[in-house]
Amino acid sequence: MIMIQLVAMAQLLIAQTTNNAIDARTPIEIQARSEAYEVANKQVDVNDVSIFYREAGDPAAETILMLHGFPSSSHMFRDIIDGLSDQYHVIAPDYPGFGFSSVPNTDDFDYTFENISIVIEKFADELGIEKFYLMMHDYGGPVGMRIAVRNPNRIQGLIIQNANTYMQGLGEWSQKIGAYVQNQQFKELEEFKAYLMSAEGVKMQYTAGSRDASTIDAVSYLTDIAFLDRTNVRKIQSILFDNYGTNFHQYLEWQSYLRSHQPRTLILWGENDKYFAKAGGEAYRNDLEEVEIHFFDAGHFMLEEFPREAVKIIRSFLNKG
């Protein structure tokens, strides 16, 4: 009963926020905000898709573009945004079909990682962001790495949180999915996908591998569950889930980008992640001459347990630049 009530509350919150007018303050008004830099909730149309995004900090400062994972949204970066916005300009969008962004049907939008990367790149163009740091988690990896490969001169550095670029980084769940595909066990694959998008499965993705599950705010996974409950969203997520295999074919190109351009890179990695193993974080040493790596006793969503530690490390990394 309590779970049902909390999900209902999250759904009500989504409905209320979606119906509210989006922040329409001018850039001058934004710059005039106090040093606390409250988070502004905004939207912009990109290729006929309404993209919701969170923005905080001084637009004149260096920009960090935060790209979320599955099954989350920009909400996953809330503590990091608060912790960095006094010194940096932080922007975190929701992808089409995620969070508060619009959910175009599959006839009107091609739900692939390639297409989402194009939308997010144009989103940055629309906001006039010429150069930025990329902070990437999970799905944010294949979205962000595509953007980086196409625009190496725009990337000031990478902050990678459990976003995979190496085959040795595939963890227990990723290997399980791969085995289902290889053995043509499509019924089992569909059942596992359905589980990952169920209320129980979403909660499990937040708590599996965590040091202390009691420290993870239930609002995080209940919010994701409420977003998934919208019309057609699970169907869309299933399509994108199936498209994930296209990323493996890009790994060599992304590794070549790392070797050739040597972007300043910080790795924050939950070492108990069931999707992406610790070896995936360590593998970045293969191609980067100078990379800073920090492992945490956490799972896929390590920012839920270690937000203060992550902010401190990110600040130190960025200030060295």
| pLDDT score for 321 | 75
Summarize pLDDT for 103-153 with one digit per residue, the tens.
999 999 999 999 999 999 999 999 999 999 999 999 999 999 999 999 999
| pLDDT score for 36 | 54
Name the residue ranges covered by the structural domains of the chain. Answer: 2-320
| pLDDT score for 15 | 47
Is 90 exceeded by the pLDDT of residue 33?
Answer: no
Q: 2-320 — its CATH code?
A: 3.40.50.1820
Give, rounded to a whole angstrom, the gap between the first and last alpha carbons of the chain: 50
For residue 234, give the 3-state DSSP assignment.
helix
| Cβ–Cβ < 8 Å for 134, 158 | yes
Specify the pairing of strand 155-161 against strand 132-137. parallel
Q: Which two tokens stand for residue 164?
A: 């995979």
Residue 181: count of CB within 10 angstroms of its CB: 12
For residue 155, give the 3-state DSSP assignment.
strand
Is 90 exceeded by the pLDDT of residue 163?
Answer: yes
The sign of the dihedral angle between the CA atoms of 158, 116, 42, 5 is: negative
Banded model confidence at residue 173, pLDDT cuts 50, 70, 90: confident
Annotated catalytic, 300?
Answer: yes
pTM of the predicted protein model: 0.89
